[in-house]
Structure 1
Amino acid sequence: MSALAWIAVGSLTVWVWLLLGQGFFWRTDQRLPARREPARWPSVAVVVPARDEAEVLPMSLPSLLSQDYPGAAEIFLVDDCSEDRTGELALSLSERFGGLPLTVLAPGEPEAGWTGKLWALRHGMAAARERRPDFLLLTDADIAHEPDSLRELVAAAGAEGDGGFDLVSQMARLRVTSAWERLVVPAFVYFFGQLYPFRRVNSARSRTAAAAGGCVLLRTEAADRARLPDAIRQAVIDDVSLARAVSRSGGRVWLGLADRVESVRPYPRLLDLWRMVSRSAYAQLRHSPALLAGTVLGLALVYLAPPLTLVAGAATGDAVAAAAGGTAWAVMTGTYAPMLRYYRQPLWPAPLLPFTAFLYLLMTVDSAVLHHRGRGAAWKGRTYARPEAAPES
């Protein structure tokens, strides 16, 4: 066989393995576990870190204030040095909509060694712990919840020691309104599931642990055992780090797709989505040039080689390369279709996944370049020179 054919066959082999051997990552059936209402509804403290969120808070905070929860619940919003009067807006929304009690905290700039979000979570969780809640709901300021969201999360967590979970996280449905959002956002969730297959995360026999930071219900005792958030204070990819800390301390973790939890933050331009990905992509690779090179080669083999070998094989008369490349592209397209359905999108963009993957490849390289220029992990006016991806200890 020609070198081109070997590349095509290699890519097809990888796709067959991804289809069958990577935890069926492409399926979208991991939703909240069966609901079982407790005899006594546990108490919950909702912690919302917020930095310059005045644009989205009117669309998200009222959904938390209006939670239909049978037990005791209250909200702690941590204003992380906002310059747009986020804290004042939160209080005015609380006065207007009523509902769950709201406390606004303002801890000031983070100490050295802390990322801004985790510094805010530290103070929010500390204030919440004074009330001794059974659960903590950690949710971002751009996440809107249906009225029964908290009830469903707590019921899904179940009773501790009786098959229950210490952490229940839902990947909020992200906004897909603009053309770039439709192209990039479903692929973002698809790639995340490929890295952290939800079925493996949810298996008691697996060591894979991950969470989606926008919606994390955490048992307070589990947070104490895992020394959270102090144990992960430098993590930029804080959701995965948090889940790993809970898992290492003996806790059970569950992760799935959300039906009634959505992000209201818009990413209308490619630049907005680019910044979202590039700020943490190199941290995920632990700032390793070797891992970066391997990732670039891997993305090229898995996502770019199928269409390229199909076209090149057809042009040169290499039937093996064309057939293997075309089959790999078809498998790739088929595995992407369920995610497009989940996002209520037409299926015609599924064959464009190689182009989207190429964009992610460029974003990852750009993340490494920014890091080596001292501008890595920049977010909302803060830059973390060398943050951790997901600390091992």
Structure 2
Amino acid sequence: MTALVWIAVVSLASWLWLLVGQGFFWRTDLRLPPRREPESWPSVCVVVPARDEAAVLPHSLPSLLAQDYPGQAEVFLVDDGSSDGTGELARALAERYGGLPLTVESPGEPPAGWTGKLWAVRHGISLARARTPEYLLLTDADIAHAPDSLRELVAAARTGGFDLVSQMARLRVDSVWERLVVPAFVYFFAQLYPFRWIATRGSRTAAAAGGCVLLRTDAAERARIPDAIRQAVIDDVALARAVKDGGGHVWLGLADRVDSVRPYPRLHDLWRMVSRSAYAQLRHSPLLLLGTVLGLTLVYLVPSLTIVAGLVSGNTTAMVVGGLAKLVMTGTYIPMLRYYRQPLWLSVLLPVTAFLYLLMTVDSAVQHYRGRGAAWKGRTYARPDPALDEQ
């Protein structure tokens, strides 16, 4: 066999492994686990870190205040140094819509060694502890919840004995770029962190979706949340890892009625979303970066390239093997497109999207070495200091 055929064979073998050996990551039927309503509903405090969120808050905060929850619940919005009147708007929305009690406070600028979001979360949890809640709902300011969202999360946690229940909010897919990039973003995330492995006791795989995390207060205390992860840029994955390392039972799945209202109309917006944390995901390692680039190329680009190269050179075997690899790849992506209610023909563009993600990842590393890595809303976070994590 020629070198071209061997490359195609390796790519096909990789896809066959991903199809059956990576926790069936491509399936999208993992929603909230079976649940029943408890005899008595535990108290819950909702913590919302917010920085310059005035544009989205009218679409998200009222949904939290309107939660139909039978037990005691309260919302704490922590204004993380906003310059657009986020805190004042939150108070006005609470006065207009009523519902759950709302407290708005600001902790000031984060000290060295803390990300702004986690410093805000720390302040919110500190406020919540005065109410001694059994659960904390950590949710972002751009997430809208169905009226029964909190009720369903608590019922699932109590029924399944979970210390952490997280739902990956359905992201917006209105613009052309959102349709091309967003479903693939969730698809790639599930490939890295297969949801079925996360829920398996004894598995090392741990992840959560930061937009919607219901967490037992005692599990948070055992895991020293958020102090133990105060430097984390990818805080949701770090949070789930800390809870699981502390003996907690974690569950993550896709959401039906928990939605992100944040728009990403331009490629630039999506590029920033991915590139700000991609190199941190690789632990700022040049070797992991190289492996990621080679892996993305082999798995997502080689099938199409071998089809074209086989067609040009007349190598039928390379065309067939590459075509089979592309067929498997396309088939695994279709369930995610259906979940996002997108046309299935977008599946043939997955290699294009994967190439964009490859470029975003490389750009993330470049920005890191230029001193602009992990930049978000006016703040830039350096590589975590291991000495601080040991304190």
Instruction: Please report the TM-score for the alignment, with normalisation by the length of structure 2.
Output: 0.98
**2:136 aligned with 1:136:** yes
The aligned residue for residue 108 of structure 1 is 108
The aligned residue for residue 190 of structure 2 is 193
The aligned residue for residue 318 of structure 1 is 315
Other structure's SS at 1:138 match: strand
* CA displacement 1:107-130 (0-9 Å, x = unmatched): 000000000000000000010011
1:205 Cα shift? Answer: 3.5
1:387 Cα shift? Answer: 3.6
Give me the whole-angstrom Cα distance separating, in 2, the residues matched to 1:38 and 1:388.
Answer: 43
How many pairs were matched up? 389
The aligned residue for residue 272 of structure 2 is 275
4+ residue runs over 2 A deviation:
none
1:259 to 241, 256, 265: 256
Q: Could you tell me whether the CA contact under 8 Å between 1:26 and 1:338 is conserved in 2?
A: yes
The aligned residue for residue 127 of structure 1 is 127
RMSD: 1.2
The one-letter code of the counterpart of 1:340 is: L
Q: Could you tell me whether the CA contact under 8 Å between 1:283 and 1:387 is conserved in 2?
A: no
Give me the whole-angstrom Cα distance separating, in 2, the residues matched to 1:315 and 1:263.
Answer: 45
Other structure's SS at 2:342 match: coil
The one-letter code of the counterpart of 2:141 is: A
Give me the whole-angstrom Cα distance separating, in 2, the residues matched to 1:247 and 1:299.
Answer: 29
The one-letter code of the counterpart of 2:316 is: A
The aligned residue for residue 225 of structure 1 is 222
Q: Could you tell me whether the CA contact under 8 Å between 1:154 and 1:217 is conserved in 2?
A: yes
Give me the whole-angstrom Cα distance separating, in 2, the residues matched to 1:154 and 1:197.
Answer: 23
Other structure's SS at 1:212 match: coil
The aligned residue for residue 87 of structure 1 is 87
1:317 Cα shift? Answer: 1.3
* CA displacement 1:165-220 (0-9 Å, x = unmatched): 00000000000000000000000000000000001101124221100000000000
The one-letter code of the counterpart of 1:364 is: T
Other structure's SS at 2:26 match: coil
**2:334 aligned with 1:337:** yes
Other structure's SS at 2:69 match: coil
**2:59 aligned with 1:47:** no
The aligned residue for residue 97 of structure 1 is 97
1:388 Cα shift? Answer: 7.6
Other structure's SS at 2:345 match: coil
2:210 to 200, 210, 213: 213
The one-letter code of the counterpart of 1:322 is: M
The aligned residue for residue 353 of structure 1 is 350
Instruction: Please report the TM-score for the alignment, with normalisation by the length of structure 1.
Output: 0.98
The one-letter code of the counterpart of 2:146 is: E
1:365 Cα shift? Answer: 0.1
The aligned residue for residue 168 of structure 1 is 165
Q: Could you tell me whether the CA contact under 8 Å between 2:279 and 2:361 is conserved in 1?
A: yes
1:319 Cα shift? Answer: 1.6
1:392 Cα shift? Answer: 9.1
1:358 Cα shift? Answer: 0.0
**2:284 aligned with 1:287:** yes
Q: Could you tell me whether the CA contact under 8 Å between 1:169 and 1:212 is conserved in 2?
A: yes
Residues 65-76 of structure 1 mapped to structure 2, 5 A cutoff = 65-76=65-76
* CA displacement 1:24-53 (0-9 Å, x = unmatched): 000001100112111110000000000000
Q: 1:34 to 1:265 in 2, by over 3 A?
A: same
Q: Could you tell me whether the CA contact under 8 Å between 2:228 and 2:389 is conserved in 1?
A: no
Q: 1:324 to 1:14 in 2, by over 3 A?
A: same
The one-letter code of the counterpart of 1:125 is: I
**2:16 aligned with 1:16:** yes
Percent identity of equivalent pairs: 78
Other structure's SS at 1:348 match: helix
Q: 1:190 to 1:332 in 2, by over 3 A?
A: same
Q: Which moved more, 1:197-206 or 1:58-67?
A: 197-206
**2:215 aligned with 1:184:** no
Other structure's SS at 1:349 match: helix
1:369 to 358, 366, 370: 366
* CA displacement 1:122-163 (0-9 Å, x = unmatched): 00001001110000000000000000000000000016xxx4
- Structure 1: where are the runs of 5+ without partners? none
Other structure's SS at 2:147 match: coil
Give me the whole-angstrom Cα distance separating, in 2, the residues matched to 1:334 and 1:4.
Answer: 23
The aligned residue for residue 153 of structure 1 is 153
- Structure 2: where are the runs of 5+ without partners? none
The one-letter code of the counterpart of 1:200 is: W
Q: Could you tell me whether the CA contact under 8 Å between 1:235 and 1:388 is conserved in 2?
A: no
Q: Could you tell me whether the CA contact under 8 Å between 1:377 and 1:387 is conserved in 2?
A: no
* CA displacement 1:58-111 (0-9 Å, x = unmatched): 000000000000000000000000000100000000000000000001100000
The aligned residue for residue 38 of structure 1 is 38
Q: 1:41 to 1:50 in 2, by over 3 A?
A: same
The one-letter code of the counterpart of 2:20 is: L
The aligned residue for residue 61 of structure 2 is 61
Other structure's SS at 2:382 match: coil
1:314 Cα shift? Answer: 1.6
